Every structure is written in structure tokens, then in C-alpha cells.
Chains A and B, each alone.
Chain A
Amino acid sequence: MNLTLNIWRQSDPESPGNFDVFNVSDVSPDMSFLEMLDVLNEGLIVHDEEPVAFDYDCREGICGACSLVINGSPHGPQKATTTCQLYMREFSDGEEVWIEPWRVGAFPVVRDLVVDRSAYDRILQAGGFVSVRTGAAPDGNTIPVPKDVADRAFTSATCIGCGACAAACPSASASLFVAAKISHLGLLPQGQTERNSRVRMMLAQMDKEGFGHCSNHAECQSACPKEIDIGRIARMNRDLGRSFIRRT
């Protein structure tokens, strides 16, 4: 099939950007979206033009590197799917496609479609861990964890840190990302000791990075490729309130 691509180009964080138009032909429906861009880029290189920069790595939906807004939706039209797992059979011949980077103030554009997501790392550095030294752990079966609790912790822990939640949010909030980690660790017995300080420090860092606050639009859970739900945000808010009245 043939497509018209409108792709955001920006040479560095300071320069203004603009959309460039590319016409691609002979796109196979079995290609992934990123493979379609690979083919475009190889052609550009051959014709002495600068290829389009975009982040990618595992190409199996788990590393969280890929990050494109496709036709207005982070990771494109398909539910529960990262850009790298989006296949061209989701598009139709002759379609016009708009490709942009995450639009979040706290994720400045590095080049073209690549953004700087180190703010997410810094939020986790503020408290997204259990303070246990290497070698200081008791036997793994010492503390039983009810299966339903372990399963809920797991589903929260499946966050890949891609940034789609903030990119989808009208307030550019990182609430779903932060709440996923708060829930993961807060549900487990191992995470109880630092539960109060964790929620406060991570949220303080989220503010400091310039993310907005949750405004209950729930766009984040629609965009999340791992389908993490906004119930976690409610839980995080409860944990924040709880932290002011309970010591542990």
C-alpha cells in the first residue's frame, strides 16, 4: 500500500520544528510501523538526506524505548500496543499519517521524534525502591504473599516507563507512571517500611520535574500499552493521605 507521512522534524531541543511530508510506497501489511520507517530511512540515506530519528530497541513491546504519537494517539490507534508492535495492517492504502514526538514539557525533544525521558528515572530515584542491601535478604519463602496481592503487585509492576501516559494526559501528568510503582511496592509486605516516604518523595519529584497533576481524564489508561488502570492513581492518593496520619 501507499501512504503519506507527515513527520515532525527538529534538529535539536532549541530549534523550532516542522512537519516534513514523505510519500512511501509498497508498504507491506505485515511490516511493523518501525520497519516501515526503517525502509523510509534507508531510502533517505541513499539519497543523501538525513534519516528521521526515533527511539527503538527491543521491538517486542517491553523495553519502553519507542515513543511516537501517531495520528494524535501515543503509540498509535491499537489498544494495549507499543509503537514497535503496531503493524501496517492497521492502516489502509492511501492513508495520511501524522507522526509526532511525545508532547510533554518535562520530556524535551532531543531530535525529531526522540525525547529526553530522564525525568522518569529521577522520579524513581526519589524513592521507587526497597532499601535492601545485596546479601541481606531472608529466605524467599519467609514471607508468604497472598496470590491475589502478588498478582496485583505484578500488574502494577508491568509498567515499561515509555511515557505514553504523560503524553496522553491533557495536564501532562506522570500520575499513572508514579502510581504504578507506588502500587507495586505498596501492595507487597517488602514495601511497607518505606511506604509513606516513598509516595511523598516520588510525588514531590514529579512536581519538580514539571509534570502536571491528575485531572481525571483517564486518557493515560487508554494510552498505556500495558493497560495499567487509573485505580492505581486513587490508591496513590489514598497512600499520600494515609502518610500524614499513620506512621507506617
Chain B
Amino acid sequence: MNAELVANDPTGPLENRWTKHRFDMALVNPANRKKYQVIVVGTGLAGGSAAATLGEMGYQVKSFCFQDSPRRAHSIAAQGGINAAKNYQNDGDSVWRLFYDTIKGGDFRSRESNTYRLAEISVNIIDQAVAQGVPFAREYSGLLANRSFGGAQVSRTFYARGQTGQQLLLGAYQALNRQIAAGSVTLFPRTEMLELIVIDGRARGIVTRNLVDGKIESHTADCVVLCTGGYGNAYYLSTNAKGCNTSAAWRAHRHGAYFANPCFTQIHPTCIPQSGAYQSKLTLMSESLRNDGRVWAPIASAAQADNAADISEDQRDYFLERRYPAFGNLVPRDIASRAAKEVCDENRGVGPEVNGKRLGVYLDFSEAIDRLGESAIRERYGNLFEMYERITGESPYRTPMRIYPAIHYAMGGLWVDYNLMTSIDGLFATGECNFSDHGANRLGASALMQGLADGYFIVPYSVGNFLARHQAGDIANDHAAVADAVRNVRDRIKRLLNAPDAKHPPEYFHRKVGQILWDHCSMTRDPADLRTALKQFPPLRDQFWREVKVTGSGEAFNQTLERAGRIADFLELGELMCLDALDREESCGSHARTDHVTAEGEAKRDDENYSYVAAWEFSGDCSAPILHKEQLRFEFVHPSVRSYK
């Protein structure tokens, strides 16, 4: 137990590490690349860009997505922007500053080497995207425009109105399409990975289910790259797409890939509040809105009213501006989220009552509209305002928006070393699927940056470095490990379809696990609550396998079966999230522990005892995983206490 994990990052001056490492990596001769097969699972920013780049380099790539087209991966929904240390605005930005802001934003729970590399590569991503025809916002000069985003004091965020993720994903999708046409990438849409094939400790393939006809197939390769996104949907209600799931990562975890910092999940402060019990997901309003919107709630519960207009100015509490005068409405996501939750817990919330509580605060644009004019606001946020009106029936040009926090992003994920390789040889994990660069909290506009940095500029090199050390080789389809993996998949599907006392649709269990996690393992965590939560998982899993009802057959298009399989994995991951949250006896990044706060109620970090990455190994028993610690060493930055006062 507690064997030290090795990150394999280079040493020496931070700014030279990636350059040095790239030189030290082995290369595959261009003529030999076509002999190697690489499987890339997922077609979002990380997967699309990785598959396209590996194909372009000459490898034989197989690309998989469960959606009907690669373009539908959930990266498409990212609104706000992408950071890059270009310093086009001449406001003092630099690679060092972006690195420092990212590591500080992550509350000093990420690796210096990785985070610096991310900041370094950020500038190449913008160049690449512009060359692909990504229509970023521009100034009247025709040069690229920037805005300040989510707590940054420099304007380094590039954006395409409120649809930056869409435009960047379409750029990667176009690059992928080019390789599909060239024959270097074979695409498998509507195909879901359900098992990993591991032979002699090395990842050699995957087992998939064709979601149209239910056919179970094995695909073998020389290495496997998982780009399968985050696990925010474990909470049931989140800003993730309905299909987002942890299954590929969780299959890998069960085969020995360590799962790192599973309790590090990000709550986004600016989502549209829930309207009723049948809510299927929560919609994010980009936090760029906080640049011009002012957050407020009534000063006391007595001042609550159905309409914002009925609350006079002297009865309004601009609580972020009041508590954090330097950063005001632009404080980081965790601080804004917790503050909003506290306000609602004090019965000062706004909006309709759901289960007897008003869960929302106002985000008010009236002052910005007076100052800049409605057309300037429309130019910046037009599509977001329309989206809000469509959902709520209210216009933010006339009445303040209502917002409430929701689960948005998973900083935790598969543990990877500096080469983005998991603890299984030949299995790589990129983008949100890995844990690597965001520590305990992610800065706004950094997810797109990381997905594309991993996919375009890091994993293509590290895959080559791995393959150069291994002979290309085929695995026979009747290899025992392949046959075993296929049998596991078939058995599991059979179990899902034939629960002995089938009575509840899969969503019944998804809502249950989601409620446990939101109540006990979201922005505020209490150790006693976590222990209560932990007791609920094993019986809930038993009940699931006994009572889940999946209609139809495994040999046809069956969305209920797809969902049931993914929920079964959330029921296991959820327990690990709570175990990790209980182990981490500090307030850090996106979460606060009730037993670790300062006298003023602010989060208290414990660098002496918890400056580590918690990497969990599957032991065969979901309730008793094995903890490995990767100690974080800070040679270049000094972990400081965050203060946004």
C-alpha cells in the first residue's frame, strides 16, 4: 500500500522540460508507422484531434464514438472560450503567468511539469485552429479578439461568440474528416466501448457494441487512447450531455488503471435553476456572463419576492462584490458557487420553489445595458440570452437571469504520467478523461485548451515514443484474452436484460446515485455525511442488479440497455468519489470540507498532509480500493493561500 507513483516527468529548468523531453522521445520511422494500429476512443476535442493527427502521421487509426457522428461529442457544447498565452493584448501575459494562474486556480494540486507544458502549448493551439478556419472573434483591425474570463486579470481568452467549443470541435472534426477521406482513419460511429483487452499487462484492444444492431466485436491494436470525457453525469443532473459516461474509463480502471482524485469535480456557478422533478439535465450559461452581469439576492429572507423588480435597490445584496471586493463577480467558480448556495441555504434564494426552497440567485445585466447599450450586450451574449429565454420564458434584457450552481466538469480521471499513459502499459488517456492538469479546480477556458493540447500536440508524440519501443504485431481474434473480454461483455448484457425482479427503469437508479452525490459529495462535504453516503452504495448496487428493468433485446437498437450499462458503472464510481472525498481531509479547490474551514468560513487547505494526487487501484471490491499517492513537489511556485478578497 501507498507505493509512490512515478510521473516520469523530466527534470531541469521548467521552460526546457517539454523541449528536452520531445528530443529524448523515441521516434517511429515514417515508413514504419503504417504497420502500427492505434485505437482512439471518443471524438471530442481530445479524441478528434488525436485521431486526426495520428492518422496524418501515418498510423492506422480506428476512431470510435457512441454518437451517430463525431461532431456530436460533448465538447461541442463548451461556450466560453479557450486560453492562450499569446499576450496579443499587451497586458503582461506570458506562458509563466498562464502556468501560474492554472496551477494556482487548481489550488496547487497539479504537477508543475504538466501544467507548464499546457501553458506552453496553448499558443500553438490558437495558430492551428486559425489555420483550420475556426472563425474566432476578431477586432475591427481584423486581428484576433480576446476577453478576460473567469477570474483572470489578463485578457487571454479567445472565443467564437458563445460557441467556442463548437467551432473548435468542428475544426478537429474537419481534420478528422480529411484523414477519414485519406483512408488513414477508419471511423466507427454509434459504437460503444464496453471492455478493454489487456494482454500481458499491456492494453491491446477493446470490445465494442454496435449500437444499431447490437453486434459485439473485438478490435485489437498496438495501443489504445481513451478520450472519453468526464464523469459529471454520475450526479444525474449536470451540464453534461445525456450520453456522457464513465464506462470506458471505468472498464480500464477495473483492469488496473488507477483512478486519480475522483472527488475533484467542478461545480459551475451559472446554470439555469431546476424547474421541476422531471428535469433531465441542467443548462449552463457561460460564465463569461459574469463579466457584465452582477450577482445579487435579497438582503434578507423577508425581502424575497416573486419578481426581481419588487425588490428595491436597498434590499439587494450584491454578495460577491461585498465579500470579494478585488474580484467581485469574477471570483473563481468554486467561490461563486458556494456563495450562491450559502445564500439559498439562508432562505434568500430567488425563483420558483422546488421542494419548498427557492434555489437561485440573480445575475443582473441592467447596469451593463444602461452603460453599454442593449446592442453591445446582444453582440456579446445574444445567443446565451436567447437560450435562457427559450428555456425559462423570461428575457434577460428585461428581468435578471436566475442562476444556480450545477456539476459541470470532472478534474479527476484516469491517472496518467507525463506521457499521458495510464498505469496500464500502452493505455493512454487524454482530455477530461485524465486527471492531469487542472488540480483541484479548473480555470475557466482551460478545458478546451487541455483537450486540444493533449490531442494535437502531446499524445501523438508519446504514442510514437511508446510504439517505437514495441514491435508492431497482430493479436489473433481467438486469443484467450480477447475471447474472455468478449464473453464478459455478453454476460454483462445478459444480466442487465434479465434482472430477477425487474421493475424499475434504469433512470430510477441514476436519480438515486445522483442525489447521494449531490447531497454529500458536491461543493460542501461533511465527513459524517460521507460515511452515511458510503453505506448506501453496496445495497443500491444490489438493488440495481436485482430490479433494473431493460426492455427489448441485446441484438437491436436499444437505448435503455445503453443507459443501464452506463448507470451500473456510475454506481461503482460514485462510491469511489465518496471514499476519495472522505480521505481528503482538507478544503481544496472546488470543494470545502465542513471540518476544515477558517474562522471566516473560507476553505482551508492542508499542504503538509494532502499535497498529493490520490490514485486509486481497483482491488476487486468496490468498497475497498487501494490508495497510491503521488507526492506533488513544487520547485518553481510556492503554494500560496488563495485570497480573492
- Show the binding face of A for B, using Cβ within 8 Å: 11-12, 28, 30-32, 34-35, 38-39, 41-42, 44-46, 48-51, 53, 55-65, 78, 80-81, 85, 87, 89, 110-111, 114, 116-118, 120-121, 124-126, 128-141, 143-147, 150-151, 153-154, 157-158, 160-161, 184-185, 188, 190-191
Is the beta-carbon distance between A134 and B457 smaller than 8 angstroms? yes
| 24 sampled A-B residue pairs with Cβ under 8 A | A12-B556, A38-B507, A45-B505, A48-B551, A49-B551, A58-B76, A58-B241, A58-B242, A59-B241, A59-B283, A62-B163, A62-B166, A63-B76, A87-B391, A114-B557, A134-B457, A137-B128, A140-B86, A147-B139, A147-B140, A153-B133, A154-B160, A157-B167, A161-B71
Q: In whole Å, how far is A174's beta carbon from the nearest beta carbon of chain B?
A: 14
Q: In whole Å, how far is A39's beta carbon from the nearest beta carbon of chain B?
A: 6
**Please, what's the 1-or-0 string for B40-59, where 1 marks a CB less than 8 Å from any CB in chain A?**
00000000010011001000
Is the beta-carbon distance between A35 and B279 smaller than 8 angstroms? yes
- Cα(A147)–Cα(B144), bound, Å: 9
- Looking at the complex, which one of A38, A46, A146, A190 makes contact with B133 (CB distance below 8 Å)? A190
Residue of B nearest to A39 (CB): B278
**Please, what's the 1-or-0 string for B19-60, where 1 marks a CB less than 8 Å from any CB in chain A?**
000000000000000000000000000000100110010000
Is the beta-carbon distance between A61 and B387 smaller than 8 angstroms? yes
Q: In whole Å, how far is A12's beta carbon from the nearest beta carbon of chain B?
A: 7
- Cα(A133)–Cα(B391), bound, Å: 41
A-chain residues with CB within 8 Å of residue B175 when the two chains form the complex: 129, 132, 134
Is the beta-carbon distance between B131 and A64 smaller than 8 angstroms? no
Residue B132 CB within 8 A of the other chain: yes
- Cα(A51)–Cα(B49), bound, Å: 36
Is the beta-carbon distance between A57 and B74 smaller than 8 angstroms? yes
A-chain residues with CB within 8 Å of residue B131 when the two chains form the complex: 130, 132, 136-138, 190
- Looking at the complex, which one of B174, B242, B284, B393 makes contact with A87 (CB distance below 8 Å)? B393
Q: In whole Å, how far is A151's beta carbon from the nearest beta carbon of chain B?
A: 8
- Cα(A116)–Cα(B67), bound, Å: 11
- Cα(A184)–Cα(B139), bound, Å: 18
- Looking at the complex, which one of B71, B276, B460 makes contact with A134 (CB distance below 8 Å)? B460
B-chain residues with CB within 8 Å of residue A144 when the two chains form the complex: 138, 141-143
CB-CB nearest 4 A-B residue pairs: A144-B142, A137-B131, A129-B174, A154-B135
Residue B346 CB within 8 A of the other chain: no
Is the beta-carbon distance between A120 and B76 smaller than 8 angstroms? no
Known contacts A31-B278, A188-B133: does B74 contact A137 (CB below 8 Å)? no
B-chain residues with CB within 8 Å of residue A160 when the two chains form the complex: 76, 166
Q: In whole Å, how far is A200's beta carbon from the nearest beta carbon of chain B?
A: 14
Residue B180 CB within 8 A of the other chain: yes
- Looking at the complex, which one of B128, B166, B281 makes contact with A158 (CB distance below 8 Å)? B166
- Looking at the complex, which one of A48, A111, A126, A140 makes contact with B144 (CB distance below 8 Å)? A140
Is the beta-carbon distance between B127 and A137 smaller than 8 angstroms? yes
- Looking at the complex, which one of B133, B173, B212, B242 makes contact with A130 (CB distance below 8 Å)? B133
Is the beta-carbon distance between A154 and B161 smaller than 8 angstroms? yes
Residue B634 CB within 8 A of the other chain: no
Is the beta-carbon distance between B68 and A117 smaller than 8 angstroms? yes
Q: In whole Å, how far is B386's beta carbon from the nearest beta carbon of chain A?
A: 8
Known contacts A30-B275, A87-B393, A147-B142: does B160 contact A118 (CB below 8 Å)? no
- Cα(A144)–Cα(B140), bound, Å: 10
- Cα(A42)–Cα(B564), bound, Å: 13
Residue B136 CB within 8 A of the other chain: yes
Is the beta-carbon distance between B212 and A110 smaller than 8 angstroms? yes
Known contacts A38-B278, A121-B69, A128-B177: does B387 contact A85 (CB below 8 Å)? yes
Is the beta-carbon distance between A138 and B72 smaller than 8 angstroms? no
In the complex, besides A42-B505, A62-B76, A63-B241, 8 extra interface pairs with C-beta distance below 8 angstroms are A55-B68, A80-B386, A118-B189, A132-B131, A134-B175, A140-B144, A154-B137, A160-B166
A-chain residues with CB within 8 Å of residue B284 when the two chains form the complex: 60
Is the beta-carbon distance between B167 and A154 smaller than 8 angstroms? yes
- Cα(A25)–Cα(B279), bound, Å: 17
A-chain residues with CB within 8 Å of residue B390 when the two chains form the complex: 61, 78, 81, 85, 87
- Looking at the complex, which one of B129, B187, B280, B549 makes contact with A35 (CB distance below 8 Å)? B280
- Looking at the complex, which one of A49, A64, A132, A141 makes contact with B143 (CB distance below 8 Å)? A141
B-chain residues with CB within 8 Å of residue A137 when the two chains form the complex: 124, 127-128, 130-131
- Looking at the complex, which one of B56, B67, B180 makes contact with A133 (CB distance below 8 Å)? B56
**Please, what's the 1-or-0 string for B154-178, where 1 marks a CB less than 8 Å from any CB in chain A?**
0000001101001100100111011
- Cα(A13)–Cα(B487), bound, Å: 29
Q: In whole Å, how far is A129's beta carbon from the nearest beta carbon of chain B?
A: 4
A-chain residues with CB within 8 Å of residue B160 when the two chains form the complex: 154, 157
- Cα(A108)–Cα(B138), bound, Å: 41
Q: In whole Å, how far is A219's beta carbon from the nearest beta carbon of chain B?
A: 22
Known contacts A60-B387, A129-B177: does B72 contact A65 (CB below 8 Å)? yes
